[in-house]
A and B are shown apart, each in its own frame.
Chain A
Amino acid sequence: MLVSRSCAKRLLASAGRAARYSSTGTSQLNSVTEQDIEYFSKILPKTSIISTLAPISSPSDELNSFNSDWMGRFHGRSTTVLKPKTTRQVSEILKWCNERRIGVVPQGGNTGLVGGSVPVHDEVIISLSNMNNVRNYDPVSGVLVADAGCILQSLTDYVAPHNHIMPIDLGAKGSCHIGGNVATNAGGLRLLRYGSLHGSVLGLEVVLPDGSILDQLTTLRKDNTGYDLKQLFIGAEGTLGVITGVSILTPPQPQASNNVILSLPSFDNVLPLYQTVKRQLSEILSAFEFIDRTAYNLAVKHGQGRALPESETVGAECFILVETSGGRREHDSEKLLDLLESLLGADKPLINSGVLSQSPAEFSSLWALREGVTEAVSKEGKAYKYDISVPLASFKQVVDDTREHLRSKGLLHDKAVKYVLGYGHVGDGNLHLNIVADAYLPEITDALEPYIYEVVASHRGSISAEHGIGAMKTHALHYSKSDVSIELMKKIKAVFDPKGIMNPGKVLE
């Protein structure tokens, strides 16, 4: 659906005349105008455009879900959402926006937790939701090539009959896109076992801001031919280009999986337990997740998975979920039971008790207690989420110190901060520190930042282990990245996106 050159030029000229510089934009970006809509209508069917501008004139509430993030914390004022179906359409949209200097926000499932997926002003939103076809799957090599807008869960379902799984899994799997996962370099629950997307993504198809299509959609596992450009887009949060296709290696489905939740009398036991579990389970260990008591209680309160019996939770300060995945059920069960027996029988037991799943239903239910924390927190109140990397030993200290810090500021009560909790991927050194408040209040933000970033920096940790920087943490980037690094990042950004149209205000200030 290429528009003739002259027509494009004419439209460009008239749109230019009507252009209104956005009042707040530092990079002098333009707002979408009716002339732009006219152009978009030439490259996209009407059903692929939602816009409050004429001639589309959609009711403004149709844009609400695109303008607000999952937490309800960030709100954009975009007038226009485009839902291209093909890479070519994405290319034409970007080319136009680049020439017109219109800011563009790529949006996947809009489950991002750092405000990266919604506009800061009135940028146009490119939703990838209509690009949702599997392009190719090779059940022998396990290489999957899919459109960026495929929902993670649907890809999991797609490869399941071939006895494969996706190398990543996270609580948002029912909504998030594979493109969004790549753009945020999402970690999730399988990282311990299958590594990060920097390893499992084999190739990408990306549309650059000038409309050119970078086709690196290879299915090769080995390809040492110069700079590995695709790596730059993994975790770029849509600031360098729009990912339209992903080639990813899917691992074979484990033939046997088990999980167990262990209750611990004290956080101090987490590390020795991790050592013991790693040693005894070795290659079948696939997850080692930490849930503190507050997080557990909230998950139960909001119906995320069936609660453990009282007898197993009394006196527990925190819980650990251990998952095993392996090739032979008998072998794995024996190993796991040996481990549990030695844990329970030890002179000074590291655990109080626990529950071992007896069926796939119980397996899911135990996982839900961990995976459901994110959702439980959002049901409980307004969440301030810090997903940080700090040394394992300081997980609890960081949570406790933050709580005390808020208390000392007089902010720990019903009408301000209700809970401070921690959970996360112990195996990856990644703590999710959540502060659940009655409402988002400036005094809470002030109390938390830069406090938390300073704590993280003092541990030489990361201010964002897996959720990214988005709009939420741009100002804090320097706590984790040196000036030299930030300068280089800016140069890279300028190479790909000299006009600064790609996801403005995200990652870099």
Chain B
Amino acid sequence: MRPSPRRLLNILVPVKRAVDYSVKIRVNPQQTGIDTNVKHSMNPFDEIAVEEAVRLREKHKESIKSIRAVTIGPSKSLDTLRTALALGADSAIHVQIPDTAPSPEPLAVAKTLRSIIQKKNAEASGEGDKIDLVILGKQAIDDDLGVTGQMLAGLMGWSQATFASKLEVDEGKQEVLVTREIDGGGEEIRCKLPLVVTTDLRLNEPRYASLPNIMKAKKKPIEKLTPEDVGVDFTPQLETVKVSEPPTRVGGGKVANVDELIAKLKDAGLA
């Protein structure tokens, strides 16, 4: 059999700084949003995305030419990029928005990613330098919108594989076999590159960032861009009317015996 020709892959991993999942969310007094003066970390699904890119590199070695992390966010998002770099991304792009700006919406994020891909691919010196795989979280745990990946695939006209729990790349055939999480099991789909993949929880378990890698990360390049550079308007299209906490659960009561239980159920019209 003839060995398949060696192809190179360039991966883009969008990551988001989000309120850490262990934090108890509190609605702000104005009921316009949540108290954000709490611990943040990388959106867990994005951490899985970075991990997957790094694992692909470990498996396919030099065929994975580059892993770029990108984030759109305020100055503190730099921490999130540093984490991505410490986990194994080669370089990063920070599209910086003002610290006071509202969190960008999925369509604006997807357009930004498109703009970055188009720009990088236009600058690329050859096919082997073009971004052809985007791996991102299926949703961010702060707004839970879960549409950025799909919008990006739509805007680019690329294949998409959402809720991935397993990835197998065949760089020779320029194909990826993806197992998707669906109700009641998994679905296998074969996608042509270029491709957008969104990650599900079971795809992998992200590693700890080791000290040597954290130190190396400090020296990796981070490119800064402005909203103007990417030509995207981040003004929200959605209006938040009101944010409120779910009603607190009223505690149950104890009954002494079955008769009392039946009586109570009857009172409540349930029996």
Chain A residues within 8 Å of B, Cβ to Cβ: 260, 262, 306, 308-309, 311-312, 337, 340-341, 344, 351, 353-362, 364
Q: Please, how many angstroms separate the alpha-carbon atoms of A262 and B211 in the complex?
A: 9
Q: Would you call A362 and B208 a contact (CB within 8 A)?
A: yes
The yes or no answer to B210 lying at the interface (CB within 8 A) is yes
CB nearest to B207 among chain A residues: A309
The yes or no answer to B218 lying at the interface (CB within 8 A) is yes
Known contacts being A340-B215, A341-B215, is A360 close to B209, with CB within 8 Å? no
Q: Please, how many angstroms separate the alpha-carbon atoms of A309 and B205 in the complex?
A: 12
Q: Please, how many angstroms separate the alpha-carbon atoms of A306 and B23 in the complex?
A: 20
Q: Would you call B209 and A355 a contact (CB within 8 A)?
A: yes
Q: Would you call A311 and B211 a contact (CB within 8 A)?
A: no
Q: Would you call A260 and B211 a contact (CB within 8 A)?
A: yes
The yes or no answer to B135 lying at the interface (CB within 8 A) is no
Known contacts being A360-B23, A364-B22, is A353 close to B41, with CB within 8 Å? no
Known contacts being A337-B218, A364-B22, is A358 close to B41, with CB within 8 Å? yes
The yes or no answer to B156 lying at the interface (CB within 8 A) is no
Nearest CB in chain B: distance from A368 CB, A: 13
Known contacts being A337-B218, A358-B42, A359-B42, is A344 close to B212, with CB within 8 Å? yes
Chain B residues whose CB sits within 8 angstroms of the CB of A309 once the complex forms? 207-208, 210
Q: Please, how many angstroms separate the alpha-carbon atoms of A70 and B265 in the complex?
A: 42
Interface size on B, residues (CB 8 A): 19
Q: Would you call A359 and B41 a contact (CB within 8 A)?
A: yes
Nearest CB in chain A: distance from B115 CB, A: 28
Q: Would you call B209 and A358 a contact (CB within 8 A)?
A: yes
Contact with A along B171-206 (1 / 0, CB 8 A): 000000000000000000000000000000000010
Nearest CB in chain A: distance from B238 CB, A: 28
A to B CB contacts below 8 Å, 28 in the list = A262-B211, A306-B205, A309-B210, A312-B208, A312-B211, A337-B214, A340-B211, A340-B214, A340-B215, A341-B215, A344-B211, A344-B212, A351-B211, A353-B210, A353-B211, A354-B211, A355-B211, A356-B209, A357-B208, A358-B42, A358-B83, A358-B209, A359-B20, A359-B42, A360-B22, A360-B23, A360-B39, A364-B22
- Taking a contact as CB atoms closer than 8 A, the residue among A262, A358, A364 that contacts B86 in the complex is A358
Q: Would you call B41 and A311 a contact (CB within 8 A)?
A: no
Known contacts being A340-B215, A358-B86, A361-B41, is A312 close to B20, with CB within 8 Å? no
Chain A residues whose CB sits within 8 angstroms of the CB of B20 once the complex forms? 359-361
Q: Would you call A306 and B39 a contact (CB within 8 A)?
A: no
Tell me the interface secondary structure of chain A in the complex. Answer: mixed
Add 16 more A-B contacts to A309-B207, A355-B209, A359-B20 (CB < 8 A): A260-B211, A306-B205, A311-B210, A312-B208, A356-B209, A357-B208, A358-B42, A358-B209, A359-B39, A360-B22, A360-B23, A360-B39, A360-B41, A361-B21, A361-B22, A362-B208
Q: Would you call B22 and A355 a contact (CB within 8 A)?
A: no
**Interface-centre pick from B21, B23, B214 (highest chain A CB count, 10 A):** B214
Nearest CB in chain B: distance from A346 CB, A: 13
CB nearest to B20 among chain A residues: A360
Q: Please, how many angstroms separate the alpha-carbon atoms of A341 and B83 in the complex?
A: 16
Q: Please, how many angstroms separate the alpha-carbon atoms of A364 and B208 in the complex?
A: 13
CB nearest to A160 among chain B residues: B24
Nearest CB in chain A: distance from B28 CB, A: 15
* Nearest 5 A/B pairs, CB to CB: A359-B41, A355-B208, A354-B211, A360-B22, A358-B83
CB nearest to A362 among chain B residues: B208
- Taking a contact as CB atoms closer than 8 A, the residue among A356, A361, A362, A364 that contacts B211 in the complex is A356
Task: Identify which of residues 130-175 in chain B touch chain A, using a CB-to-CB cut-off of 8 Å.
Answer: none
Nearest CB in chain B: distance from A363 CB, A: 9
Chain A residues whose CB sits within 8 angstroms of the CB of B214 once the complex forms? 337, 340, 356
Chain B residues whose CB sits within 8 angstroms of the CB of A359 once the complex forms? 20, 39, 41-42
Q: Please, how many angstroms separate the alpha-carbon atoms of A306 and B205 in the complex?
A: 10
Chain B residues whose CB sits within 8 angstroms of the CB of A344 once the complex forms? 211-212, 215
**Interface-centre pick from A312, A344, A358, A362 (highest chain B CB count, 10 A):** A358
Chain B residues whose CB sits within 8 angstroms of the CB of A362 once the complex forms? 208
Chain B residues whose CB sits within 8 angstroms of the CB of A337 once the complex forms? 214, 218
Q: Would you call A355 and B41 a contact (CB within 8 A)?
A: no
Q: Please, how many angstroms separate the alpha-carbon atoms of A379 and B123 in the complex?
A: 59
Chain A residues whose CB sits within 8 angstroms of the CB of B22 once the complex forms? 360-361, 364
CB nearest to B82 among chain A residues: A358
Q: Please, how many angstroms separate the alpha-carbon atoms of A80 and B20 in the complex?
A: 47
Chain B residues whose CB sits within 8 angstroms of the CB of A360 once the complex forms? 20, 22-23, 39, 41
Q: Please, how many angstroms separate the alpha-carbon atoms of A364 and B21 in the complex?
A: 13
Q: Please, how many angstroms separate the alpha-carbon atoms of A356 and B23 in the complex?
A: 20
Q: Please, how many angstroms separate the alpha-carbon atoms of A309 and B83 in the complex?
A: 16
Chain B residues whose CB sits within 8 angstroms of the CB of A306 once the complex forms? 205, 208
Q: Would you call A354 and B210 a contact (CB within 8 A)?
A: yes
Chain B residues whose CB sits within 8 angstroms of the CB of A351 once the complex forms? 211
Q: Please, how many angstroms separate the alpha-carbon atoms of A68 and B249 in the complex?
A: 37
Chain B residues whose CB sits within 8 angstroms of the CB of A354 once the complex forms? 210-211
Q: Please, how many angstroms separate the alpha-carbon atoms of A359 and B48 in the complex?
A: 14
Nearest CB in chain B: distance from A323 CB, A: 15
Nearest CB in chain A: distance from B227 CB, A: 25
Nearest CB in chain B: distance from A303 CB, A: 14
CB nearest to B205 among chain A residues: A306
Contact with A along B3-33 (1 / 0, CB 8 A): 0000000000000000011110000000000
Q: Please, how many angstroms separate the alpha-carbon atoms of A337 and B216 in the complex?
A: 12
CB nearest to B84 among chain A residues: A358
Q: Please, how many angstroms separate the alpha-carbon atoms of A425 and B212 in the complex?
A: 26
Chain A residues whose CB sits within 8 angstroms of the CB of B212 once the complex forms? 344, 353
Nearest CB in chain B: distance from A311 CB, A: 7
Known contacts being A358-B42, A361-B41, is A312 close to B210, with CB within 8 Å? yes
Q: Please, how many angstroms separate the alpha-carbon atoms of A346 and B21 in the complex?
A: 37
Nearest CB in chain B: distance from A196 CB, A: 29
CB nearest to A261 among chain B residues: B208
CB nearest to A351 among chain B residues: B211
Q: Please, how many angstroms separate the alpha-carbon atoms of A344 and B20 in the complex?
A: 29
Chain A residues whose CB sits within 8 angstroms of the CB of B42 once the complex forms? 358-359
Chain A residues whose CB sits within 8 angstroms of the CB of B209 once the complex forms? 355-356, 358
Chain B residues whose CB sits within 8 angstroms of the CB of A311 once the complex forms? 210
Q: Please, how many angstroms separate the alpha-carbon atoms of A218 and B154 in the complex?
A: 68
Chain B residues whose CB sits within 8 angstroms of the CB of A262 once the complex forms? 211
Nearest CB in chain B: distance from A28 CB, A: 44
Nearest CB in chain B: distance from A431 CB, A: 26
Q: Please, how many angstroms separate the alpha-carbon atoms of A358 and B83 in the complex?
A: 7
Chain A residues whose CB sits within 8 angstroms of the CB of B211 once the complex forms? 260, 262, 312, 340, 344, 351, 353-356
Nearest CB in chain B: distance from A390 CB, A: 30
Chain A residues whose CB sits within 8 angstroms of the CB of B39 once the complex forms? 359-360
CB nearest to A333 among chain B residues: B79
CB nearest to A345 among chain B residues: B215
Q: Please, how many angstroms separate the alpha-carbon atoms of A23 and B207 in the complex?
A: 61
